[in-house]
Homo-oligomer: A and B are copies of this chain.
Amino acid sequence: MKLIKLNASVTASNEQDAEALRARMKEAGTLLVNVMSSPGSGKTTLLSRIIRDLSDLKIGVMEADIESDVDARRIEALGAKSIQVHTSGMCHMDAGMTAAAWEAMETKDLELIFLENVGNLICPAEYDTGAALNLMLLSVPEGDDKPLKYPLMFQKSDALVITKTDAMDFFNFNPEKCRQSVLKLNPDIKIFPVSAKTGAGMDALESYLRESLREFT
């Protein structure tokens, strides 16, 4: 498994870098999905499940972390192409860093690449990574009030995956209250309640990913 250390990009415009990367990935026939959430919301577990379920697709994962390579090792064990990015202490990925990580993967053959962004519900929402799809996770134990407190992430995401729904009875999480708060911030967002553990709800999310891939490429 490859590990690269990246620093914040020093360019005139992150927006321009992001647009350029999106265009190049479209040409390569690769859908880049930026996966964002708080630490411990279940990003790696969700991606592991998707990799197993969508085994007919060529999938790669960029794991962005401040330290460690535990997530990239979990992904690699599933046979998917993975690369570990260390962000030099940075709390988010930008478009230049994402482009560098794609180069370092040394393949243009993948159909679907997930960028598992740094666990952070704030800063990653402020940077366009060049992804064609922005996916955020909110786990049930975090609580249904998070849209009120971290609105930008919910506004910038194309889809919200509510994870760990198998823990719904254990925690005081009101899915309808959450849905209402989220739709007030972002009326167009798609919402997928799932449990990667039991498999509940995974079909709808995976169909959405397939459809997004078809539409983009």
Chain A residues engaging chain B, CB cutoff 8 angstroms: 38-40, 65-68, 70-71, 89, 91, 118-123, 139, 141-143, 145-146, 148-152, 164, 167, 170-171
Are B149 and A70 in touch, CB under 8 angstroms?
yes
Are B145 and A68 in touch, CB under 8 angstroms?
yes
* Chain A binding surface SS class: loop
Q: Roughly how many angstroms separate A122 CA and B122 CA in the complex, as a whole number?
A: 10
Closest beta carbon of chain B to A89's beta carbon, Å: 7
Are B66 and A122 in touch, CB under 8 angstroms?
yes
B67, B123, B170: the one within 8 Å of A151 (CB): B67
Give the interface centre of A40, A121, A139 by most chain B CB atoms within 10 Å.
A40
Closest beta carbon of chain B to A68's beta carbon, Å: 4
Which B residues are CB-close (under 8 A) to A167? 141, 167, 170-171
Q: Roughly how many angstroms separate A118 CA and B38 CA in the complex, as a whole number?
A: 12
Are A89 and B146 in touch, CB under 8 angstroms?
no
Are B141 and A39 in touch, CB under 8 angstroms?
no
Q: A40-B139, A141-B167, A167-B141 are in contact. Are A119 and B149 (CB under 8 A)?
A: yes
